[in-house]
Amino acid sequence: MLSPLQKLKNKSMLIDVENLKKDFVTGEVVTKVLYGLNFTIDDGEFVSIMGPSGSGKSTLMHILGLLDRSSSGLYKLEGKDVTKLSDDELAKLRNEKIGFVFQAFNLLPRTTVLDNVKLPLTYSDQKKGDINEIAKQVLKDVGLEHRVNYYTNQISGGEKQRVAIARALVNNPSVLFADEPTGNLDSKSGTQIMEILQHLNNRGRTIILVTHETYTSEHAKRIIKIKDGLITDDYPVENRRIAKDGELLK
């Protein structure tokens, strides 16, 4: 059984974006949000997409995560031009290739930790016993094997986010999107979540972190800054923050 923390091999270009634009149309009013973005992300990178509210970073994440479509431009995921896919094809690709972690956790209430993590595998071809084992493995990978049978209202906020990470990993996706994953957490719990994301990346998992916080973004290895729908900067993080034992070290 492949654990999400096992090293991934054959690194290559994962995401290729060329002249990507997004407009929202309401009646006769056209609101331009993204103004022709160009960048690539390789398999195994840890990238922060950073910008203030209204900058377009969440819109970009929704497009990259196949939750929305661009108005024009090219977006290739693992070499496939996703702009030409049908809604059903996008949904299938999203389920197979992409994992999401959101600020609000988005866990099912009155449901066990294990059942929350198993949810993405419900309609897969996996046997029931295999689904249980895969879910337990990813929970072990995020340090929650002791919470398998707890209900989501019985665990802390930091543990809820760990459950959300495990659920995002259970399909072994090509890329994990984390949208303000520490926004609802205290500083210690937030640091622990970033430590998990760093650990996943160190084992080869591609992470794309969306945040407005400089402190959080510096856990990544590369930062793409967006303002008013344009990329204003794109650079490696030389003095990366490393999470260890609940503290951040420079």
pLDDT in tens, the chain (250 residues): 344 444 444 569 999 999 999 999 999 999 999 999 999 999 999 999 999 989 999 999 999 999 999 999 999 999 999 999 999 999 999 988 999 999 999 999 889 999 999 998 887 777 777 899 999 999 999 999 999 999 999 999 999 999 999 999 999 999 999 999 999 899 899 999 999 999 999 999 999 999 998 889 989 999 999 999 999 999 999 877 766 544 444 4
CA–CA dist 131, 29 (Å, integer)? 48
What are the residues facing 223 on neighbouring strands?
A: 48, 235
Secondary structure E strands in 103-217: 175-179, 206-211
Return the closest-CA partner of residue 222 out of 33, 48, 41, 68.
48
> pLDDT value at position 121?
86
pLDDT at 244: 56
- The answer to whether the beta carbons of residues 243 and 46 sit under 8 Å apart is no
What's the pLDDT score for residue 91?
92
| pLDDT at residue 4, rounded to an integer | 42
Task: Please give the pLDDT value at position 9.
Answer: 46
Give the per-residue pLDDT at 124: 73
